[in-house]
Structure 1
């Protein structure tokens, strides 16, 4: 009696699998089958996802007031450029070294930061200090003899 009951349960379970395979509960059926469609001639004229030439971008963030420190530390995969500077007032954020170019073996970076949305107090030199770092690979450093960081009031250069 026990065997007959188990066989009936097994038979009912197996027959239920066929219905689930064709139902919307099966994740393999969620997108349906593919169909052939006519190609859109406009698609061929669209721009590629990767730009062919670099697009000029003017960074709206102002330069920090001055660069006070510039250090290049070696890492296992290249170098870490670390710069410290002073801003005009408290509240500057989104600090970044943006690449400006390459001039005769010198990498040039601009030290930029976004000002606070609301006017801030001038603050003390300790509260106006910002630090930023940028990782450079050995490939980025190939042929580079110096790194220059430019601020509004000065620039600092470090060389090999």
Structure 2
């Protein structure tokens, strides 16, 4: 036991004294200066309102989901996580999105989002509500939610909202 302890102590002392890449003390000492940007690197450059002008969303050809079951807004580090559960009228709905109205800008402290999805042709109707449920979520930053008091999600037959 003494031999192993002595060997380990000598090994780490010798390794700590050298300036090689094997020395654990020198693993993170290579710093470099990087230019400081004036914008937040986590936000897209072209944000307008709540969402950026994403060509996939602006050319989205989905139709409204039948009903909105719940809207949940949770605090996260970036701002707020908006989670929406909807119930379409048919099975097999996919590509669910929250499309902002008015380019994502608030009107009197209210942001309105449309719950849209692609409904397959010939999909079976009916079934349990739980089997048809779809969930979509998005993150809104604190800057994007500045001055917003209510988030409203609109479907084909109803609308639900969450307030601060």
Which category describes the TM-score, using the shorter chain as reference length? 0.5 to 0.7
Residues 90-129 of structure 1 mapped to structure 2, 5 A cutoff: 90-101=91-102, 102-129=106-133
Unpaired runs of 5+ residues, structure 1, are 1-49
Structure 2 distance, partners of 1:77, 1:155, is 26
Structure 2 distance, partners of 1:68, 1:126, is 11
1:46-73 Cα offsets, whole Å, 9 max, x none, are xxxx8xxx79x56431111010111000
The CA RMSD measured in Å over matched residues stands at 2.1
How far did residue 81 of structure 1 move? 0.3
Larger Rg: 1
1:110-152 Cα offsets, whole Å, 9 max, x none, are 0011012443242221111111101101111111111000000
Structure 2 distance, partners of 1:147, 1:121, is 30
Q: Is the 8 A contact 2:89 2:125 kept in 1?
A: no
Provide TM-score, normalisation by structure 1. 0.62
Unpaired runs of 5+ residues, structure 2, are 1-45, 47-52
Provide TM-score, normalisation by structure 2. 0.60
- Aligned partner of 1:77 in structure 2 is 78
Structure 2 distance, partners of 1:119, 1:92, is 9
Structure 1 segments (4+ residues) deviating >4 Å = none
State which of 145, 150, 160 in structure 2 corresponds to 1:156. 160
Query: Aligned pair count?
Result: 108
State which of 126, 138, 142 in structure 2 corresponds to 1:138. 142
